[in-house]
Chains A and B, each alone.
Chain A
Amino acid sequence: KAGVTQTPRYLIKTRGQQVTLSCSPISGHRSVSWYQQTPGQGLQFLFEYFSETQRNKGNFPGRFSGRQFSNSRSEMNVSTLELGDSALYLCASTYLGGSGEKLFFGSGTQLSVL
């Protein structure tokens, strides 16, 4: 089974621009969650989607948004980029098994805002 695929792997943008990141979950996984990782703040939860509906949202400004498509693929968008948005953005898909919810992460998109 293919793992979680995130594209692009690296991205360089300038302040004020917008960016769209893509995540394809493992086949059959219907839940996708997004995280921001920075050296200072660590890993922080952005939002979670299940069957095209946003199920939960972290404490990020409205510039951060996302969506999920009927094939479970998800995108996140950041508008009006700021220097502080530079981070590794990770996507995870969730498998619900007998031992509970287990997350599988992609390799991430490294975003640099100049």
Chain B
Amino acid sequence: KQEVTQIPAALSVPEGENLVLNCSFTDSAIYNLQWFRQDPGKGLTSLLLIQSSQREQTSGRLNASLDKSSGRSTLYIAASQPGDSATYLCAVRAGIQGAQKLVFGQGTRLTINP
């Protein structure tokens, strides 16, 4: 059974710092991995999608890496801003062809202090 773990559960840093969020998964047989952002009481916004054959994806100040063999992914946020404050979730798509589903981690609640 695929399990996804995110550490730390919460993180508070001053504005301007670079930071790394971690995600680990137990079964390396994944289809892809996706990082999402969730603001309080809202839905999820997709940030980056990494296919199983890829090593990393970048979008603006965000960079996500994937190491399937070790079951790990990291989300790097450069020059953090107060607007980056949110909960960040990673999810892996896994399962047999035609019956895949997303398995989510519990998320990291990020606070950027001005």
Contacts and interface: CB of A to CB of B under 8 A. Distances in A.
Interface of A: 4, 6, 33, 35, 42-45, 48, 55-56, 58, 88, 90, 92, 99-108, 110
A108 B38 CA distance: 12
Given A100-B49, A101-B32, A101-B93, A108 B101 contact: no
Contact of B106 (A42, A102, A105, A107): A42
A8 to B, nearest CB: 14
Contact of B51 (A43, A100, A107): A100
Contacts of A103: 34, 44, 46, 102
Interface in B58-99: 89, 91, 93, 95, 98-99
Interface of B: 31-32, 34, 36, 41-46, 49, 51, 89, 91, 93, 95, 98-107
B101 to A, nearest CB: 5
Contact of B101 (A4, A48, A100, A107): A48
A43 B99 contact: no
